[in-house]
Amino acid sequence: MSDPVVQVSGLRYGVGRRRIFDGLDLTVARGKVTAVMGPSGTGKTTLLRLITGQVMPLEGEVTVFGQSVPTLPKLELYALRRRMGMLFQNGALLTDLSVFENVAFPVREHARLPESVLRALVLSKLHAVGLRGAADLMPGQLSGGMARRVALARAIVMDPELLIYDEPFVGLDPISMGVIVRLIRELNDALGITSIVVSHDVDELALISHHSYLLSEGKVVAQGSPAELRDSPLEVVRQFMSGEADGPVPFHYPAPDYLEQLRS
């Protein structure tokens, strides 16, 4: 295996008194699709914010392309981010720009291309996600699935080496879901990029990921290929993979004794 794209070790992070990560270790191999799974509220999105340098860890190392993210000055962090693309949960399209201009936005900001070249580039990316015909629409006119595909076109327009997906499957109908699932793996293999997918949709992730991490309570509790995770003997993994309501991850939010509370 060549050097990893993302290396997280001994990561500790918290907000106020709440501990989110307590000694997290994780590696993302070059050219692979790495899945990060876990119940809601385990800080999966926070992990992405740490990898992209939006928040700083309390302790531990976050290395992307061999550079330590938390210690980078702003300009170098911005240079590093140009090598990444990120797909947000709700697309995060700029609402005052058309679909075409949204995809063109990062290119206009970072490169001076003749208008004809820019046009060809943007249309080719929109074609890749099947939305060349929607170039003139405004984000408000798109369905949730279309918005996410436009956001995906925008994320790949600068030809990133690392693509990060934050909950790409949430709230999609089965057809849009199938499209996104296929696109993630196809883009990864065709463009030779590295992908991180944060999600809790076990079945979809099993279709596309090479390696999966399962997070719970601030740590990696299990990792391996989709098949290895499915056959894991660990109770917490079984509960998550088969979706049982109660188990090591309790159904009830911590509360005082029910009877006591009713009597008081």
> Residues interacting with other proteins, by CB under 8 A?
52, 54, 78-79, 81-82, 84, 86, 88-90, 92-95, 105-106, 109-110, 151, 154, 158
The residue (of 30 and 82) whose beta carbon lies closer to other proteins is 82
Query: How near is the Cβ of 219 to other proteins at its closest, in Å?
Result: 26
Contact 37, 212 (CB under 8 A): yes
Query: How near is the Cβ of 246 to other proteins at its closest, in Å?
Result: 31
The residue (of 52 and 195) whose beta carbon lies closer to other proteins is 52
Query: How near is the Cβ of 255 to other proteins at its closest, in Å?
Result: 25
For residue 74, give the 3-state DSSP assignment.
helix
Contact 135, 100 (CB under 8 A): yes
The residue (of 37 and 158) whose beta carbon lies closer to other proteins is 158
Query: How near is the Cβ of 89 to other proteins at its closest, in Å?
Result: 8
Contact 34, 28 (CB under 8 A): yes
Whole-number Å distance between alpha carbons of 64 and 81: 10
Give the largest Cα separation in the chain, rounded.
Answer: 74
Whole-number Å distance between alpha carbons of 8 and 196: 13
The residue (of 4 and 53) whose beta carbon lies closer to other proteins is 53
